[in-house]
Structure 1
């Protein structure tokens, strides 16, 4: 009785012998765009071809995309954003990456395939982006493309990341203008009757970020223990206002400065009055800073109020984030240890704090030099 020929189960692929004597395996695999297509592998012997077939099936089982042809960047970058960046990164990060992909990378490199993308292609594109925008934008595009190709290497779509061979455009570090102590006091005096006075005191006194200010809740403030917990922030992306973890996902409990207690108590009384006036239209959110109906305020409104008060006080125009750097500078002027400042400001690395600490006032620098003179003068005697 003739033996029955064994067949592979459905989806396991097939192996056939070609007219040229080689063997050919065909397996349905997952494409980077989420579809399925037939992938062919070849071998001189049946065993060699079967080994390649099993490798393809292993990738199918693990969900690893296997392109039947070299994917173009115009295909891979959107897939990377949707399936790799979006599930793992913050919405703000995804939105920033999407902007660079849509405006800068796909228009200049979209027709290039992953395998044929060269160092020269990347360098030329970065030069074009620099000429059309700024060095900082080109540097960020370099970072986005490098991350996208690293993911392609991880999924074995390419064997090397050519972007790592291209030096990123150089950008001068941003040195925001900082207010002097007298200028900071002038701003505080001008802002005393503003509805966001307490928010600005927290920004100046504790260095809270704008998103952390509008995301602060009353449950996070302990007046008796004089502490404030920074746990969440609020952001707006694509027209949607949402709550998220703080930057670097670091939660911190900070001592509440005495100068911030009275403004916060005033803010609570003011909010109670707004709640009574709004009646049924009030939306309870427990947020410290809200609209007249209890809804979350926009971070952009904080920025507009800050600039309006800055102009009213006749002070140099700075960013709200520069006020945060100003708080760090005041900590440096007070000889606060950088590690302590790092915990207060919520920096992820001590190097970030040290970068801010380098912008210390001239008076502090002169004091340090005078201290050196005293030490060296004593040694000479």
Structure 2
């Protein structure tokens, strides 16, 4: 360890410290230097913090943030799901590497991280402007977890305060009247049953795309969400949902009838296609039985909103509509949490609903009312 001083213009004395780091894989000596401290005591305190932060780090010869993050991603292929890893990869690529990727990892301290967050909040969006505090908080959560894995424990790092919500957690939410108008307009459409599941049961896009008839019990009125079809990078993957996303959803008589009619139409298509039909048991598929590309549902949903003359919301916001309708009708939070497959009740409470005033079956009956009323 080296503590020293130097003078700047005006005769003012400032202090610095130097830490010798382990020799890199290339055999070269490495050091971590910081300067600009107002006293020797301040420099010593910063040096102690740096030793704690970097003492257990195993930094490669390149040592840059970009290289170390790439190495971490490669290692985590062993134990992190592909979709989650792809999200981490995109987060690093868009928000971290462009700003601090060229820095040496051992030279990253809380000041560097705070500057990164400030930059993202003011000028971090791809199309100009700043990112939301929520997005930067996500960057903070993933980045600090990654640095800790790499042996870098930075204390005192602050994250942006949560954004103040004036909408009580509502995002793109339809009124009951808008939901009924949308469903009534598409009553004869080929994807009507998919849209009904999204609005009435709050199913996600990947859950709709991966749903198979073997997981639909129409006699009992239950849909089992045990599989999803989603995108990771540039390829489609199919996998079991994680955690509490794997669930059983109760559906009411009207939703059961919708699915029965959908199955009858699909059986007619199968008979007409004959040998060219590939029966892979998907509830929602093309005329030849092959599953849809996941983004197909997203694109068709936007067109469906425009055609029905209702506000254009994203497909995922059908979950918000379902959750908010349930909460407004008095369905308890824990029931909606189970129905939507949230691991944390706080997600249901803060992100999806705004009213928390009797059972899972009651929730199904309340949401099913939208189908009953538009069908008459």
**Length-normalised TM-score, structure 2:** 0.72
Residue number in structure 1 paired with 2:270: 275
Change (3 A) 1:344 1:170: closer
1:181 pairs with 2:179: no
The 8 Å contact of residues 218 and 286 in structure 1, kept in 2 or not, is answered as: yes
| Gap regions ≥5 residues in structure 1 | 1-28, 41-63, 362-381
Q: Whole-Å Cα distance in 2 between the matches of residues 227 and 275 of structure 1?
A: 24
Residue number in structure 2 paired with 1:286: 281
1:79 pairs with 2:68: no
Q: Which has the higher contact order (CA 8 A, sep 6+)?
A: 2
Q: Whole-Å Cα distance in 1 between the matches of residues 70 and 318 of structure 2?
A: 37
Measured against aligned partners, the alpha-carbon deviations of 1:3-31 in whole angstroms (never above 9, x if no partner) come to: xxxxxxxxxxxxxxxxxxxxxxxxxx9x9
| Gap regions ≥5 residues in structure 2 | 1-22, 30-55, 358-376
The 8 Å contact of residues 109 and 154 in structure 2, kept in 1 or not, is answered as: no
Change (3 A) 1:279 1:167: same
Aligned to 1:148, which of 146, 155, 162?
A: 146
Equivalences, count: 299
1:240 pairs with 2:232: no
Q: Whole-Å Cα distance in 2 between the matches of residues 306 and 111 of structure 1?
A: 41
Measured against aligned partners, the alpha-carbon deviations of 1:195-243 in whole angstroms (never above 9, x if no partner) come to: 1111111111111111111111101111221211111111012221111
Residue number in structure 2 paired with 1:218: 213
Displacement of 1:145 in angstroms is 1.8
Aligned to 2:247, which of 236, 244, 252?
A: 252
1:161 pairs with 2:159: no
Q: Whole-Å Cα distance in 2 between the matches of residues 197 and 265 of structure 1?
A: 12
Displacement of 1:170 in angstroms is 4.6
Displacement of 1:149 in angstroms is 0.2
Displacement of 1:262 in angstroms is 1.8
* Greater displacement, 287-296 / 90-99: 90-99
The 8 Å contact of residues 135 and 169 in structure 1, kept in 2 or not, is answered as: no
Q: Whole-Å Cα distance in 2 between the matches of residues 260 and 186 of structure 1?
A: 16
RMSD, aligned CA: 2.8
Change (3 A) 1:179 1:66: closer
3-state SS in 2 of match to 1:275? helix
Give the alignment of 1:46-125 within 5 angstroms. 66-67=58-59, 71-84=63-76, 86-125=77-116
3-state SS in 1 of match to 2:186? helix
The 8 Å contact of residues 222 and 249 in structure 2, kept in 1 or not, is answered as: yes
Q: Whole-Å Cα distance in 1 between the matches of residues 331 and 92 of structure 2?
A: 42
Measured against aligned partners, the alpha-carbon deviations of 1:155-198 in whole angstroms (never above 9, x if no partner) come to: xxx4x225x61323654556313111111111110110111111
Displacement of 1:334 in angstroms is 2.3
Residue number in structure 2 paired with 1:135: 131
The 8 Å contact of residues 170 and 320 in structure 2, kept in 1 or not, is answered as: no
Q: Whole-Å Cα distance in 1 between the matches of residues 59 and 330 of structure 2?
A: 58
